[in-house]
């Protein structure tokens, strides 16, 4: 059976990545509007005739597109931040909870997670769930992404001849749009302190959560923290936890190491008898952090093998 797919916003960074992942597949047929992609009537028809649509649009445009979907059989995946904490929308991180994959499979509307939140939720949610990290604990997350995460304008800026920016901290108002989903989907009761940055490389990211283990109620060891993550992701294909022996031997971690994949790799650094831990998530901001995750969710929603077209 061939499923028809419409990507609304296929010309954007995420849309192009998704199209590249889908167009070679024989089980899918892409509905392409070409020069008519800004034609409201053409978009409305495609939004209601496809088996599934993926919205790669700014928040307001995504809301307008959702309002045009009148066919209850059309599956919708939204890659913007518009619906990530909205009622009636499933959060598209299949590995984050035992029932999340089934929830995605039976939902008409799925919100694709943000790239930074994917790494942060992957690290923190299991610890809150296991009681190792209190829900009211003041959590800080430091992260750096390749400049492709900023879309076409940032890509053009960093790739312009003579561009000299090496690294830039941003989100200085501490009101980044990812904070609500990072807080809600980890089970935390207080907003996280999020300090994002962008580096002068195209894609790949590191998301870090430093923890003073001695400040936690039970002073959990690095091994207990690591064990909670291993238990949470046992048997998952796209989320893995690095072995402690491996992390102890590492002298650095490369943000581009998983580029081109849909994988999320979690590390727990720190002395086994110490009272500090440095949790680090590694992922491709355009892979598991965006287009790869969208394809994984699409596969689940269509009842296909969720790894189809992904590595």
**pLDDT tens-digit readout, 158-212:** 888 877 688 899 989 988 999 999 999 999 999 999 999 999 999 999 999 999 9
Mean pLDDT over all residues of the chain?
95
Same domain, 119 and 109: no
Residue % of the chain over a pLDDT of 90: 86
Choose among 7, 2, 116, 106: nearest CA to 54: 7
Same domain, 146 and 246: yes
Question: Which is the catalytic residue, given 62, 76, 90, 115?
Answer: 115
Same domain, 52 and 196: no
Q: Are 145 and 178 in contact (CB under 8 A)?
A: no
Residue 310 included in any domain: no
Domain containing 232 — which CATH number?
A: 3.30.360.10
**pLDDT tens-digit readout, 88-126:** 999 999 999 999 999 999 999 999 999 999 999 999 999
Range of the domain at 76: 3-113+290-301
Q: Are 268 and 253 in contact (CB under 8 A)?
A: no
**pLDDT tens-digit readout, 28-58:** 999 988 888 888 999 999 999 999 999 999 9
pTM of structure: 0.95
Residue 309 included in any domain: no
Give the CA-trace dihedral at 183, 184, 190, 196, to 10 degrees.
Answer: 10
For residue 295, with 0-12 CB atoms within 10 Å meaning exposed, 13-18 middle and 19 or more buried, which class applies?
Answer: buried
Active-site residue, 115 included: yes
**pLDDT tens-digit readout, 238-289:** 999 999 999 999 999 999 999 999 999 999 999 999 999 999 999 999 999 9
Same domain, 294 and 254: no
């Amino acid at each position: 059976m061939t499923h028809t797919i419409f990507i609304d916003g296929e010309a954007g960074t995420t849309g192009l990545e998704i199209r590249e992942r889908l167009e070679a597949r024989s089980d899918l047929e892409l509905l392409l509007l070409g020069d008519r992609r800004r034609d409201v009537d053409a978009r409305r028809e495609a939004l209601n005739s496809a088996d599934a649509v993926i919205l790669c649009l700014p928040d307001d445009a995504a809301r307008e597109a959702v309002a045009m979907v009148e066919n209850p059989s059309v599956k919708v995946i939204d890659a913007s931040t518009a619906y990530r904490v909205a009622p009636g929308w499933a959060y598209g991180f299949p590995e984050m909870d035992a029932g999340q994959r089934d929830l995605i499979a039976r939902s008409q509307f799925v919100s694709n997670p943000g790239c930074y939140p994917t790494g942060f939720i992957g690290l923190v949610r299991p610890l809150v769930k296991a009681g190792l990290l209190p829900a009211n604990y003041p959590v800080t997350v430091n992260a750096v992404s390749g400049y492709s995460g900023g879309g076409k304008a940032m890509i053009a800026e960093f790739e312009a001849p003579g561009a000299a920016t090496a690294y830039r901290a941003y989100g200085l108002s501490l009101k980044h749009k990812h904070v609500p989903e990072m807080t809600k989907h980890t089970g935390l009761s207080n907003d996280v302190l999020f300090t994002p940055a962008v580096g002068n490389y195209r894609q790949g990211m590191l998301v870090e959560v430093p923890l003073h283990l001695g400040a936690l109620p039970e002073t959990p060891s690095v091994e207990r923290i690591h064990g909670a993550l291993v238990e949470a992701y046992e048997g998952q294909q796209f989320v893995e936890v690095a072995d402690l022996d491996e992390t102890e031997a590492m002298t650095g971690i490369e943000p581009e190491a998983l580029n081109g994949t849909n994988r999320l790799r979690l590390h727990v650094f720190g002395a086994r008898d110490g009272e500090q831990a440095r949790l680090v998530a590694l992922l491709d901001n355009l892979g598991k952090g965006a287009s790869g995750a969208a394809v994984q969710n699409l596969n689940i929603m269509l009842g296909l093998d969720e790894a189809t077209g992904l590595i």
